[in-house]
Amino acid sequence: MSKKRDTRFLTGNNKIFLEKAIQLYVFFRHVSPNEMPSDLAKRMKHDGNVVYSLITGYFEKNKFSIEYLEFLNDELRKLSKLDDSYFKNFTIMPTQIDELELQQKVSLSFTDDETGKTYTFQYEKESGKCEFEITS
């Protein structure tokens, strides 16, 4: 088993992009797929996977994919236009994502089923410090 550990201090756009990615991750995963229409559940799963790829891609390549960011922004615009009945079990609406206040310290972990890699990170909002580990 190999491990890659790194610490980065995010500033500027990288800080904004990671915070937005965390907000999006919370939104796309905060409701069980069983509690929403099946077409929306498929869409939310796909969009959550794009956020996952955005975050893990940053850790692997030290840059965010502009294509993923543009896709997610476009997807949010589309979701915001859907009838509210789609979101009856949601506590966060698509138009409220920017209002999500991140905790001072955020910890997340993802496992990539295809590669077997596990990505774990802690992000400190105020300082922009991001510690992460990739285990394969």
Instruction: Check pLDDT > 90 for residue 82.
Output: yes
Tell me which residue of 46, 2, 17 sits closest to 123, measured CA to CA: 17
**Which pLDDT belongs to residue 112?**
87
Mean pLDDT score across all residues of the chain: 93
Mapping DSSP to helix (H, G, I), strand (E, B) and coil, where does residue 1 land? coil
CA-to-CA distance for 114 and 112, rounded, in angstroms? 6
**Which pLDDT belongs to residue 113?**
86
Instruction: Check pLDDT > 90 for residue 10.
Output: yes
Residue whose pair of structure tokens reads 């997807």 in the numeric block:
75
User: How does residue 6 score in pLDDT terms, banded at 50, 70 and 90?
Assistant: very high
Q: How many CB atoms lie within 10 A of CB 128?
A: 16
CA-to-CA distance for 111 and 109, rounded, in angstroms? 7
12-29 vs 66-80: helix crossing angle, rounded to 10: 50
User: How does residue 92 score in pLDDT terms, banded at 50, 70 and 90?
Assistant: very high
Q: What is the pLDDT of residues 18-30, one digit of tens each?
A: 999 999 999 999 9
Distances in Å between the Cα of 78 and the Cα atoms of 44, 72, 75, 82, 126 are 12, 10, 5, 7, 31
**Which pLDDT belongs to residue 35?**
93
The residue-averaged pLDDT of 35-47 equals 93
Domain definitions of the chain by residue range:
3-135
The residue-averaged pLDDT of 53-59 equals 93
Q: What is the pLDDT of residues 95-134, one digit of tens each?
A: 999 999 999 999 999 898 888 999 999 999 999 999 999 9
